[in-house]
Structure 1
Amino acid sequence: MLPEDHGLASAGDGREVVLSVRDVTVAFGDNVVLDQLSLDVYRGEILGFVGASGTGKSVLLRTVLGLIPKRAGEVSMFGVNLDEADDRQKMLVDMRVGVLFQHGALFSALTVKENIQVPMREYLDMPKALMDELAMLKLELVGLPPSAADKYPSELSGGMIKRAALARALALDPDIVFLDEPTSGLDPIGAADFDELVAKLRDTMGLTVYMVTHDLDSLFSVCDRIAVLGGKKVLVEGTIEHMMQVEEPWVKSYFRGKRARQLDLTTRSASA
């Protein structure tokens, strides 16, 4: 932990709140996308954040990261109110955050190794040889071969792009990683492998994971808790077992529709 950590809030059951969103409102002109939304993310969990297309899932993620301004509300990370933090505090928080944007968002003119080193160059002052060594360690961590280091994004498959982007997100050994549709565009086997990797990294590195996803397989297999966005707020949150009992129409259709029932039966059979 960085020395600038403030006292973290705790849930009623004692879990530490790593990310706290309170009464956040985001609008573009007269179009209010999020209206007094509140959400907590707890240390060490994999939170799946879902909702219908266009409801504002990625808008909230970008607002939390400071990429989109909010009209009202408060965002705190590691006990630091980001609106009240000075530049040094914000930098220290940023160094504890990793982000995998949708489609990877790798820099096309940089090799995989150079992409992984971007956060190191931005925040750290270290010799090139050490950065090279660390980049190769991150490649190994996400299951990419050493030969991928000198390839450009255009030379990678979709699954390799996701893993390279995840390696970049892990460059500074963050405490929390934000994943925006991490399995979109992957075949079912590749998506399952990526989910397994995320769960393994959470367990071995003690990560907290905030995952925006539409992938029911991910929600059933790796997410500890799910938050559903609807009506510009968090409509409901809880475990997958709780979601299977919710009677709200969209939630019921999403989690108990034909495909979801098949997934549930498959998951239960596999674990039996």
Structure 2
Amino acid sequence: MHAEGTIPVENARLSSAATRDESGKEVFIRARGVTVRFGAKTILENLDLDVRRGEIMGFVGPSGTGKSVLLRTILGLNQKQAGTIEVFGVDYENANDRDRLAVERRWGVLFQHGALFSSLTVLENIQVPMREYLRLSPKLMDELARLKIDLVGLAQDAADKYPSELSGGMIKRAALARALSLDPDIVFLDEPTSGLDPIGAADFDELIMTLRDTLGLSVYMVTHDLDSLFQACDRIAVLGDRKVLVEGPLSTMLEYDHPWVKSYFHGKRARTVVHNGKSVVQSKPNGAG
């Protein structure tokens, strides 16, 4: 028996199929040997990656290394030429329609620049996933959408505004509310703090960490924001040379001997702080010289 107003899916079976890594932690996303090409150009080649339950995983790398390509490939928006990607233990690309639906209902996506529908209000934008995947009354959808608006820290009067009436920070929060529309287990964030001032970016990072802690969210975050990597991310993956060069906590990034990684985490836009009793490099605030 399924709850009234929902499309039956097999979330329980998908959850039980989820894999675990060597440490015994549950893995929500498991990529092995992934290769993606556009024409003759290879963007990703033989890439391996694990994203664990309940963590904020940050993805960084030089422009053009395939960070957004990998995100879109995991979501099934790009076709891969080799390898496997399992989400919640399911090979999404080769899954049947029922299992695909079950996977899609467990993720939310905040695309770069928000990608809100310009002809819809904030309330209507948040309801788009509800209309696609659920069977709910208009009144219940209104109530749920307003809960999401409150959850991301927007004022309730934002509900009836159109994207053109919102500031950059409000657009990000409205897009996040839409990503949270179906109460997902994992959210994908593509450059969530780009274009925000330092205070707005820091507030957004705090919001993501709060949602992770209170809702048990897993977060897949593509970012160039050093502050987000230092403050919000539990682990970081660096993409380069068409693969994951290194992944791990901040301490691993600071010790990794690779020219780009050293330049990025120890470069001019960094300052020294004490981390675990040692003097290490930490990012300056966005926009600092």
TM range, normalised to the smaller chain? over 0.9
**1:30 CA displacement:** 0.2
Match of 1:107 among 117, 120, 126: 117
Q: Does 1:58 align with 2:63?
A: no
1:197 alignment partner in structure 2 = 207
Cα distance change, pair 148–253 in 1 and its aligned pair in 2 (3 A): same
Q: Does 1:93 align with 2:93?
A: no
CA displacement, residues 213-269 of structure 1 (integer Å, 9 cap, x when unaligned): 0000000001000000000000001111111111111000000112123575668xx
Cα distance change, pair 90–266 in 1 and its aligned pair in 2 (3 A): closer
Q: Which moved more, 1:103-112 or 1:3-12?
A: 3-12
Q: Does 1:81 align with 2:91?
A: yes
Q: Does 1:11 align with 2:52?
A: no
Q: Does 1:136 align with 2:139?
A: no
1:270 alignment partner in structure 2 = none
- Identity among equivalent positions (%) equals 67
The TM-score normalised by the length of structure 1 is 0.96
Cα distance change, pair 266–248 in 1 and its aligned pair in 2 (3 A): closer
Q: Structure 1 runs of 4+ off > 4 angstroms?
A: 262-267
Q: Does 1:46 align with 2:56?
A: yes
> 2-side partners of 1:258 and 1:186: how far apart?
21
**1:2 CA displacement:** 1.5
Structure 2 gaps of 5+ residues are 1-9, 274-279, 284-289
What RMSD in Å do the two structures reach over aligned CA positions?
1.3
Q: Which moved more, 1:258-267 or 1:28-37?
A: 258-267
> 2-side partners of 1:265 and 1:242: how far apart?
12
> 1-side partners of 2:260 and 2:168: how far apart?
31
2:3 alignment partner in structure 1 = none
Q: Is the 8 A contact 1:49 1:229 kept in 2?
A: yes
Q: Is the 8 A contact 1:20 1:77 kept in 2?
A: yes
1:235 alignment partner in structure 2 = 245
Q: How many residues align?
A: 267
Q: Does 1:2 align with 2:2?
A: no
Structure 1 gaps of 5+ residues are 268-272
> 2-side partners of 1:37 and 1:124: how far apart?
35
Q: Is the 8 A contact 2:270 2:282 kept in 1?
A: no
Q: Is the 8 A contact 1:255 1:261 kept in 2?
A: no
Q: Is the 8 A contact 1:136 1:146 kept in 2?
A: yes
**1:147 CA displacement:** 0.1
> 2-side partners of 1:92 and 1:194: how far apart?
29
Q: Is the 8 A contact 2:45 2:242 kept in 1?
A: yes
2:286 alignment partner in structure 1 = none
2:33 alignment partner in structure 1 = 23
